[in-house]
Structures are given as structure tokens and as C-alpha cells.
Amino acid sequence: MRGLSRASLAEVEERFNAVAGSADLGSLADELFAVADLFDREHGLRRYLSDPARPASQKAQAVRVLLEGKVSGAALETVVQAVSVRWSGSGDLADALERLGVVAASAEAEAQSKLDDVEDELFRFGRIVASNLDLQRVLTDPAVAGQAKQELLGSLLDGKVAPTTLRLVTQLVLHPRGRSLDRGLDEFGSLVAAQRQRLVAVVRSAVDLSEEQRRRLATWLRTSYGRDVHLNVEVDPRVLGGFSVRIGDDLIDTTIAGRIEEVRRRLAG
């Protein structure tokens, strides 16, 4: 989001934090996802509600007429605040509501002591989809009915992952909103990690890391970045030796493969 939308998001999050404390967080997440999806489908409605030339009170009243009695009070007040501020683009309105849906789902997982599970499960599901092209095609094919995709996800994940994981994966599969599935999983994974102000590090290693190695690496990264870091470890024999760590745009590469590639680049230059 650009500067104006970032400032508006902060205002909406402040209202969300004020009303979400006593809410059923799982239901609140579903409601915010549903409203975001509604605004995505109804372009005219989204443009009306994000039009900076319209008075905020007018847009808030329109939302109350549209949603009152259909969603919880916490969801309604969050959406009212969202349409009362200004956004850089109309799409940012739906983006903000979806983001807050992820935050609500993450808060529920944290209350259930399942936040670590959700982070790990989102990462592992992404790796499964990346390695199974048939599954990837079904889940991302717009010609496949949403009900069929939802039933497939239920058969794969229900009872095997945290309810929050299933909720977030279902949102991404049924409502990709222009994203690839792997990008969406990365985005949601980062938002889940941010629930405890943690960074997410993707570690690639030729062999799995021991618990002691993971602990030492996490401690070193926490010291380096000044924040807790959640490790998603991916075993990849192609790295040959050593490991690489990617945090956002930062890459720490100690692999043999990385050194070979660096020598190639220097020779080519």
C-alpha cells in the first residue's frame, strides 16, 4: 500500500483492535473476508464506498444499511471505519479488510496456542502444492467450482491442521484476488508471523537442521534483526552444502551452490 493507504490502514486497525477484543475471532475473520470478497465482486459499490469526494458519513450510512443485522457489531464497526477513511486506490479498501480478517484468524490461533502450528502448516502446504502440479491445477483453475475446491481442501486438511490454517487456505483458494497461490500463502504467512511481531525466515539446507542448529540460527537472526524470527526450513539437496536464509528481500547465502553461482557471475562480468 502507498503512503495514504498505509496511514488509513493504521486508523482502521486502531478501531479493529478496539472492537475485536470481545468478538468471536474466527467468525469475525470470516465476516471480514466475506465483505472484502463482496467489494471485489461489486465494482460499483467499491468505487462508491472508496470515493474520496463523498462524505464519510454518507458512506458509513450506506454500509450500515447494507450490512446491519447481517454481520456482527465488530465487523460492522470495522467496515464503517474502513469506508470512512481515504485510500490511494479503491482496491486498497478490500485489501485492508482481508488483511484484518487474517489478523483476526491469527489472534484466534494465538489464543488457542496454535500460532506456531499455523505458520508451519501454511509453509508446508505451500511446498506440497508446489511439488504436486495436478493439485496445483485443480486449486487454481477458475473453471473448477468453488464447492469442489472447498471439498477437496476439506478432505486434505480438515482434522489434520489447525482450524485457522484451513480457514486461511480456503480464503486464498476460493478468492485469489489476482495472486498466485504461493504468493498468497507467503503473504498470509507473514501476517500470521506479525501477530507476535516476528519475521519469517525461509531456510534452505541440503539436510534438515537439528533442534540445536535451529535454536542457534534463530538466536543469531533475532540478535541481527532485533526481532523474533520464525524459521521455515526447506530441505533441498541442490544447495550441496551450507544453507541459505531469506527474510523479505534479504538473502544470506552460505551454500556451495551459491558460491559457485557467484564465481560464475564474476567470470561472466
Rounded distance between C-alpha atoms, residue 201 and residue 221, angstroms = 9
Residue at a domain's end among 174, 194, 214: 194
Say how many Å lie between the first and final Cα of the chain, rounded.
Answer: 37
Same domain, 107 and 169: no
Same domain, 190 and 203: no
Same domain, 185 and 228: no
**Pair 46, 93: CB distance under 8 Å:** yes
Record the cell numbers describing residue 180, joined without a space: 498466485
Residue at a domain's end among 146, 165, 194: 194
pLDDT value at 263 more than 60: no
Angle (nearest 5°) at CA 11 between 89 and 55:
60
Same domain, 8 and 105: yes
Same domain, 85 and 162: no
Q: How many other CB atoms sit within 10 Å of the CB of residue 162?
A: 22
Same domain, 132 and 84: no
Same domain, 56 and 128: no
Read off the pLDDT of each residue in 77-84 and give the average, rounded to a whole number.
96
Rounded distance between C-alpha atoms, residue 73 and residue 250, angstroms = 41
Secondary element (H or E) of residue 21: none
As for how many domains the chain has, the answer is 3
pLDDT value at 265 more than 90: no
Same domain, 102 and 17: yes
Q: How confident is the model at residue 269 (pLDDT cuts 50, 70, 90)?
A: low
Rounded distance between C-alpha atoms, residue 40 and residue 30, angstroms = 15
- Residue 139's domain spans which residues? 115-194
Residue at a domain's end among 194, 216, 236: 194
**Pair 246, 205: CB distance under 8 Å:** no
Same domain, 56 and 122: no
Read off the pLDDT of each residue in 139-156 and give the average, rounded to a whole number.
96
One-letter amino acid at 192 equals V
pLDDT value at 3 more than 70: no
What percentage of the chain exceeds 90 in pLDDT?
62
pLDDT value at 260 more than 60: no
pLDDT value at 252 more than 90: no
pLDDT value at 240 more than 80: no
Same domain, 23 and 102: yes
